[in-house]
Amino acid sequence: MFISLVRHGATEQNQAHILEGHSDTPLSALGERQSQLAADHLANRPIDTMYSSCARRAIETATIIATRLEIDFVTDERLNERDYGEFEGLCRSELLKRRSDLGLSNVDPTQDWCGIESVESDADIWNRIRTFFEDGAAKHIAIVTHNGVIRAALHTAFRIPVWQSRCFQISNGSVSTLRIISGSLELIELWQPSLFSL
């Protein structure tokens, strides 16, 4: 079985470096283009099942991809972005300052939340999405979701410590494809939309 984890296309908030979390924002023009490129990239894959987060930006991305692939998709709240609690809506400079004030590292400020109870942990995210990795009926699943969810899945599945968070670059419109063989995960690709195509 294969799973392609697709990060939704960009929003105006992404482009302004604002931490969105559960905010329900639409795609920007750039995000629509990124979603079209992701759809083109996935067009030659035998995707038979598709899911999306319930966030508007993910649904808009999924709609573009599903239209290109001529398949339907199902929304599922388990695929929603990490709950960033009190940090949601902060711009990058505000986020970095708040984290510094709390004694947290700013190496990867959207991922490393150790000791902050109000922010959903990687383990909690993995617990809500792991069943998608256990669906034996599908041959190739596409999942449109968010940066925090994709990173939590990759880091948890491959047992990568949170302090090594920068080992995956998950840009808007990217596709991370995994193969599941006998319960083990293998990373097949980390595809990013080309800047020259945007």
Q: What is the pLDDT of residues 15-46, one digit of tens each?
A: 999 999 999 999 999 999 999 999 999 999 99
pLDDT band at 137 (very low <50, low <70, confident <90, very high): confident
Mean pLDDT of the chain: 91
Integer Cα distance of 38 and 5 in angstroms: 11
Nearest to 148 by CA among 192, 95, 111: 111
pLDDT band at 163 (very low <50, low <70, confident <90, very high): low
Nearest to 50 by CA among 38, 40, 36, 65: 65
Paired residues of 7 in beta bridges? 145
For the ranges 131-135, 136-140, 141-145, the maximum mean pLDDT occurs at 141-145
Question: What order do you get walking across the sheet with 74-75 strand by strand?
Answer: 74-75, 49-52, 140-145, 2-7, 175-181, 184-191
Record the pTM. 0.93
74-114 pLDDT per residue, tens: 999 999 999 999 999 999 999 999 999 998 888 777 777 88
E strands, the chain, are 2-7, 49-52, 74-75, 140-145, 175-181, 184-191
Which domains, from first to last, does the chain contain? 2-197 (3.40.50.1240)
Which residues contact residue 191 at a Cβ distance below 8 angstroms, ignoring those fewer than 6 apart?
A: 41, 174, 175, 176, 177
| Phi-psi label, residue 108: left if phi above 0, alpha if psi -120 to 50, beta otherwise | beta
Question: Mind telling me the catalytic residues?
Answer: 8, 81
Question: Residue 179 pLDDT more than 80?
Answer: yes
Q: What's the confidence (pLDDT) of residue 18? A: 94
Percent over 90 (pLDDT), the chain: 70
Question: Residue 146 pLDDT more than 80?
Answer: yes
| Phi-psi label, residue 103: left if phi above 0, alpha if psi -120 to 50, beta otherwise | left
Region of poorest pLDDT, from 2-6, 84-88, 125-129, 152-156: 152-156
